[in-house]
Amino acid sequence: MKFLLLLLAGAFLFAAPNLPAIPQTVGGIFLNASGNPRRLPIEDWFKEPGHWQLSTLPQVPWIMGTVPTGRMLNDPGQVFGFTADNVTVNSSETGPEIISVAVGFSADKTKVAGPDLLKRLSRNVAAFTGAPEVRLKDGDLSFVGKEYTVVLKEWKSGAVTATLKR
């Protein structure tokens, strides 16, 4: 009898429609699951859960390139035009709206020295956010745009992280 109940419960679960769930809160590494053929702005691209998925595998190709208009490119492994070690996405508790995106860069992978990487990233990020307001604080470069605040920070290990915050 117990076996029959388990079998019926399993059949019910598998018969239910398999709809993608929109996570209420997300903190993790993302990779592009479908590209961006419609050239959506980054905030619109993230609102569609089918466009990204969580991953902890370091060998997957990270992707989130941008052009000066703030639209994404489809260059695998690139964030702001540089190869990224990882990307962390945090969404709001009420839905898929992105609160922050943190990106880790390694100077070894980009083949650019840490200070030069910061300079080149600052130009890319400034283009992404629009007219920047530059603030220097504790070695960080901060850019404030219409939609996001982007902070670039150089780590002691020579890596650089960029954080986009609303």
Residue among 141, 108, 137 at smallest CA distance from 124 = 141
How confident is residue 112, by pLDDT bands cut at 50, 70 and 90? Answer: low
The values of phi and psi at residue 105, to 5°, are -120, 145
| Section 83-99 average pLDDT | 52
- Give the C-alpha separation, 48 to 96, whole Å: 8
Query: What tokens appear for 104 in the block?
Result: 């880790």
Q: What is the mean pLDDT of the chain?
A: 47
Global pTM reads 0.39
pLDDT tens digits along 51-70: 544 433 333 333 333 333 33
User: With DSSP H G I counted as helix, E B as strand and the rest as coil, what are the percentages for the chain, rounded to 5?
Assistant: 25, 35, 40
User: CB–CB of 138/80 below 8 Å?
Assistant: no
Per-residue pLDDT at 54: 40
